[in-house]
Amino acid sequence: MRLILPLSITFVTGMIMVLHFFVPHQPIKFLGDNLQEWYMIVASAAIFLGALNLMHVHFRKIKLKLKNWKYSPVTIIGFMLMFVTGLIYGVTAARPFDFMFMNMVAPMGATMFSLLAFFVASAAFRAFRASNWRATLLLTSAFIVMLGQVPIGAMIWDKIPLAKVWLMSIPNTAGQRAVMIGAAMGVVSTSLRMIFGIERSYLGGTD
């Protein structure tokens, strides 16, 4: 019984958003326009839950002296540093919050991102082996495109960049398209199951 209200909210909001796409008339337009902003506000407000959880997890680690608890204060201090300076000094440029973001958070993000340069190499080394003819095709197309990506490819044979463009725009497009159309069917069916409350396990049980 307690699920009826949430499920009807799901149904109504879902239907409004679907209708909003097809119906430019009031009141659908007004409701749809606003709902788009509302649900983002609600989802954003939840960030406080996450922040509390993060603090809780690390304070608990320290209290119970769990594995690696010595690093937990680092997380807590890091969070507090950003949170407090953000509240006090605001987010404008050249203030402590912005300074820490630009010189600590952003470089760390860029560094984690750049780890991929190493990981693509190790993944390619391990995975691209001609173990069967399908794997051989995968390997060959990757190889040709890699060559076509850099000027050296064109120096070896001037048709290689053309082969790259062909691979990217014909077989690659075909593959992507099949994935996209198939996924769209999956999305329609999943959304439908959500909107009509056929799938409701995400609402949890009967606590």
Partner 1 sequence: MASILEKLEKILEKLGNMDRRIIFILIALSVIIPLTLNLIFPNPVGAEPSRDMYEYVDALPSGSDVLLSFDYDPSTMPELQPMAIALVTHLMRKDINVVGMALWPQGASLGQEVMSSVADSLGKVQYEDWCNLGYKTGGGIMIVRLGSSMNAVFPTDRDNLSWDEIPMLEYISDLTSFDLIITLSAGDPGIPAWVMMAGDRFGVPVGGGCTAVSAPQFYAYLQTGQMVGMLGGLKGAADYETLVGIQDGQAVKGMAPQSIAHLVIMSFIIIGNLAYFTQKKKGGRG
Partner 2 sequence: MNWEILGIWLGAMLTLCLYSFLYRDNPFYKFAEHLFVGMSAGYWVIYTIENVLKPNWWQQMFPEDGGFNWVWIIPGIFALFMLARIIPKIAGLSRMALGMIIGAGAGVNMVGFFQTNAMAQVKGTIISISSGGAWDIFSSIVLVVGVVSGLVYFFFSKAHTGIVGRTANVGITILMISFGASFGYTIMARISLLIGRCQFLMFDWIPTIPRLLGIGG
Partner 3 sequence: MRNLSAVIAVLLVSLAGLALADNTDPPESVVTEAALELEVCRAIDLQASDIPNDEGGKVKLSWIMESEGIRPDSLGIMRRDPAGSDELITTLTGNFTDYTDDSARNGTTYTYWILSFRGGAAEACSDEVQAVSSAQWFYSGRVGMLIILSLIMAVIVYYIESGKRGKELYIREIAGLAAVDDAVGRATEMGKPVLYIPGIMDMDNIQTIASIVILGRVARKTAEYGSPLLVPTSRSVVMSVAQEVVKEGYLQAGRSDAFNKENIQYLTDDQFGYAAGVDGIMVREKPAAIFLLGCFYAESLILAETGRSVGAIQIAGTAMPSQIPFFVAACDYTLIGEELFAASAYLSREPKLLGSLKGQDAGKLFFVILIVAGVIAASIGDFWSPMKSVAEFLRKLVTVN
Residues that bind partner 3 (CB under 8 A): 21-26, 29, 39-40, 43, 46-51, 53-54, 57, 60, 67-68, 105, 108-109, 112-113, 115-116, 119-120, 122-124, 126-128, 138, 176, 179-183, 185-194, 196, 198-199, 201-205, 207
Would you say 13 or 172 has its CB closer to partner 1? 172
| Separation of alpha carbons 107 and 86, rounded Å | 19
Would you say 53 or 149 has its CB closer to partner 1? 149
| DSSP tag of 103 | I
Distances from the Cα of 27 to the Cα of 22, 33, 40, 196, angstroms: 13, 10, 20, 22
Q: Side-chain half-sphere of 119: how many Cα atoms within 13 Å?
A: 6
DSSP of 49-65, one letter per residue?
A: HHHHHHHHHHHHHHHHT
- Residue from the set 16, 62, 95, 154 that interacts with partner 2 by CB under 8 A: 16
Residue listed under structure tokens 């996450």: 50
Shortest Cβ distance from residue 3 to partner 2 (Å)? 7
Binding residues among 117-156 for partner 2 as defined by CB under 8 A: 117-121, 124, 134-135, 137-146, 149-150
Binding partner of residue 93 among partner 1, partner 2, partner 3, none, CB cut-off 5 to 8 Å per kind = partner 1
Would you say 158 or 207 has its CB closer to partner 1? 158
Would you say 159 or 177 has its CB closer to partner 3? 177
Residue listed under structure tokens 């691979």: 167
Shortest Cβ distance from residue 6 to partner 2 (Å)? 4
Name which of 188, 190, 196, 187 is nearest 15 in CA terms. 196
